[in-house]
Amino acid sequence: MKALGRDLQAGLTVALVAIPQCMAFAVIAGLPPVHGIYAAVVMGVVGSLVSVSPKLSLGPTVTTSTIIYAVLATAAPGDRESWVGLAGVLAVLAGLVTLGLAALGVGKFVRFVSRTVLIGLVVGTAVLILGAQLAPSLGVASSGKSTLIGILLDTLGHVPDARWPAVLMACGVLALVLLGARWAPGWPVPFFVLVGSVLLDWVLERSGMPLNLRSVGEIPRSLPSGLPQLPLPPYNTDLLVGAAALAIIGIIQTLTLARAYADKDGLRINVNRELVALGAANLASGLTYGFAGAASFARTALNDLAGAGSRAAGIVAAVGIGVVVFAAAPLVSAISQAATAGLLIATASTTVNWREFRQVLWHDRHDRAVLVVTLAGVLVLPIHWATLIGLAVSVAIFVQRAGELRLVEMRTGGEGKFHERPIDEQTGQNRITMLQIEGPLFFAHADELTDTLRLVFGRRPLVTIIRMRRTQQIDYSVIRALARVAGEYAAQNGRLILCGLRPELRALLRRSELGRVVPHDCMLEITGQVFGSAHQAIALAEGAIRGSHDSRPTFRSV
């Protein structure tokens, strides 16, 4: 009973925060606020029933809503009446793509997508929201453009028409929500602030000082009856690309959160089950007047903070959203667009981890390139295109870095220690040369590895040791290339010793072509000691050259 009580408390707390958030996210997507409620209820129930994560909160999110708006504004810029139906189509397509990817078992490959892409998307989304909410904050008509630069240019043209009541309302809500996030993170401050904005508007109107602010629109007291008539649009690249972007971003966001909270609680996640939950939730949302979403950073964190212990909390939150909204429909309908804009700007500003953003920006040139490309794309392109371009750049950089050969020279430094140094013109000049290969070896490494080893062997070291302690995998192309160059080296009376081999790798190499060139006793397994097999290899090498008249030093030292 105590656990159920905690789930009830957590669910109701999340529901009160989710109501203004999900309505606002519908506004971001260019849809009537009530559709955010439909999406929150349906995705919350379906997601909680299918998922195995006790704290994950599925529903509308700021990232997915921003993508939806960009897709709709690009695909049907002059037909806003069709946006509700098209948003449903997008959700259905995104759900089917997600379910298809789950069936293919691609969830395990999400780890190869750079987190920098997600950071760039979150920052780009925040900037796009700030730009899009300037118009309602000023009390002027919202732009219909899908790019940040287009939105800003449209809004700047309406600045002379700005209304101070709207500006003050937006700024007041923004300040109170930010203060609440800082000093009362466990309380549904956004809900109370929006209710307060409605009461303030009512009091001022009764006092003869009406603010005359645009409201978010009518909220019906009942759920719609029957399924929506989803349009069957002609082939449209933006819809297909948008659905793919929604599916990919939803998968990354959902699995990132699921893994983070599973690790925190010492649990394991079922990746495929979480993908099925997300796909089913989006599919159901699209078929019930909703739109696509994913796991919410804010609501999942609040669920955890409020003490949720099972999936029952998610069901309570979803049902609670519907009950509260439809029981108080007139109050919710009276919320002003300016107040919602203030809430969205606050949400956008707190979504970004600016410290992490700065670290990525200055840490690594590859991460910086992905981040800059994603953000630049958000500036001039619809965000779904910017997202896929960022992903493509991330994958391209990963392939390029995976293709880089990590081969260094190991030099002695006294007390049995070794130091890594880049291979230079002196490598191979001593009687014994030790090299180290790091990381897996794929076919893309074969030519570079062969060229480098031939260069080193050409300096006639009597023995060359290759340490492979950090090599977990080697493919056939590399084994064949190694066998060829090792044979050439043996013909020059050179001896090749491999050390630091994992048992399975040693067994593989002994059975391969390389095993017919390199004696089996020159393939040394890892030991339980640091550099244990390296020292064994050195002893073997010194024994092999004992009695040699070569006057060169044995090793290069640091």
Helix 337-351 × helix 2-28 angle, to 10°: 110
Q: Is residue 227 part of a domain?
A: no
**Angstrom distance (rounded) from CA 380 to CA 106:** 31
pLDDT over 80 at 415, yes or no: no
**Angstrom distance (rounded) from CA 307 to CA 372:** 38
pLDDT over 70 at 226, yes or no: no
Give the length of the chain.
558
- Mark whether 410 and 434 lie in a shared domain: yes
Q: Is residue 558 part of a domain?
A: no
pLDDT at residue 7, as a whole number: 78
* 196/307: higher pLDDT: 196
pLDDT at residue 39, as a whole number: 94
What CATH number should be reported for the domain holding residue 492? 3.30.750.24
Least confident of 70-79, 280-289, 393-402: 393-402
pLDDT at residue 112, as a whole number: 62
Count of beta carbons in the 10 Å neighbourhood of residue 481: 22
pLDDT at residue 130, as a whole number: 82
Q: Is residue 208 part of a domain?
A: yes
- Mark whether 435 and 364 lie in a shared domain: no
Contact 305, 62 (CB under 8 A): no
- Mark whether 427 and 378 lie in a shared domain: no
- Mark whether 425 and 515 lie in a shared domain: yes
CB neighbour list of residue 26: distance below 8 Å, 6 or more residues apart:
32, 33, 34, 35, 36, 37, 39, 60, 65, 291
- One-letter amino acid at 285 equals S
pLDDT at residue 232, as a whole number: 67
Nearest residue to 98 via CA among 50, 168, 148, 40 = 50
**Distances in whole angstroms, Cα of residue 278 to Cα of each of 99, 242, 422, 545:** 8, 16, 47, 64
- Mark whether 274 and 209 lie in a shared domain: yes
Number of domains in the chain: 2
pLDDT over 70 at 302, yes or no: no
* 259/60: higher pLDDT: 60
- Mark whether 244 and 275 lie in a shared domain: yes
Question: What mean pLDDT, rounded, does the chain reach?
Answer: 83
DSSP state of 264: H
Grouping H, G, I as helix, E, B as strand and the rest as coil, residue 230 is: coil
- Mark whether 391 and 426 lie in a shared domain: no
Q: Is residue 503 part of a domain?
A: yes
Q: For a pLDDT cut of 90, what percent of the chain falls above it?
A: 25
- Mark whether 153 and 167 lie in a shared domain: yes
Q: Is residue 552 part of a domain?
A: no
Grouping H, G, I as helix, E, B as strand and the rest as coil, residue 455 is: helix
Q: Is residue 557 part of a domain?
A: no
Nearest residue to 388 via CA among 71, 144, 73 = 71
User: DSSP per residue over 280-316, as a string?
Assistant: HHHHHHHTTT----EE-HHHHHHHHHTT--STHHHHH
pLDDT over 60 at 86, yes or no: yes
**Angstrom distance (rounded) from CA 306 to CA 308:** 6
pLDDT over 80 at 122, yes or no: no
Query: According to the per-residue pLDDT averaged within each range, which of 22-31, 270-279, 386-395, 543-552 is highest?
Result: 270-279
- Mark whether 157 and 254 lie in a shared domain: yes
- 377, 400, 423: which is the final residue of a domain? 400
Which pLDDT band holds residue 306 (cuts at 50, 70, 90)? low
Grouping H, G, I as helix, E, B as strand and the rest as coil, residue 421 is: strand
Least confident of 40-49, 290-299, 353-362, 471-480: 353-362
- Mark whether 353 and 457 lie in a shared domain: no
Query: According to the per-residue pLDDT averaged within each range, which of 97-106, 134-143, 208-217, 482-491 is highest?
Result: 482-491
| Phi, psi of 269, rounded to the nearest 5 degrees | -100, 150
**Distances in whole angstroms, Cα of residue 534 to Cα of each of 263, 434, 483, 523, 537:** 36, 9, 21, 11, 5
pLDDT at residue 464, as a whole number: 94
Nearest residue to 216 via CA among 134, 308, 136 = 136
pLDDT at residue 221, as a whole number: 66
- One-letter amino acid at 274 equals E
| Residue 449 lies in domain | 406-545
| Reported pTM | 0.66
Least confident of 66-80, 150-164, 258-272, 289-303: 258-272
HSE-up of residue 121 (Cα within 13 Å, Cβ side)? 30
Q: Is residue 22 part of a domain?
A: yes
Nearest residue to 447 via CA among 396, 382, 403, 510 = 403
**Angstrom distance (rounded) from CA 435 to CA 437:** 7
Residue 278 forms beta bridges with which residues?
none
Q: Is residue 229 part of a domain?
A: no
Contact 484, 450 (CB under 8 A): yes
- 400, 422, 442: which is the final residue of a domain? 400
Which tokens is 90 given? 């997008």
* 12/112: higher pLDDT: 12
Residue 435 forms beta bridges with which residues?
409, 466
Residue range 65-89: mean pLDDT, rounded: 88
Query: According to the per-residue pLDDT averaged within each range, which of 42-51, 199-208, 258-267, 472-481 is highest?
Result: 42-51
Helix 2-28 × helix 34-50 angle, to 10°: 140
pLDDT, tens only, 9-45: 777 777 877 887 788 889 888 898 889 999 999 999 9
- 354, 384, 400: which is the final residue of a domain? 400
- Mark whether 459 and 510 lie in a shared domain: yes
pLDDT at residue 558, as a whole number: 56
Which pLDDT band holds residue 225 (cuts at 50, 70, 90)? low
Contact 30, 249 (CB under 8 A): no
- One-letter amino acid at 422 equals P
- Mark whether 319 and 423 lie in a shared domain: no
Torsion angle, alpha carbons of 195, 198, 204, 205, to 10: -150
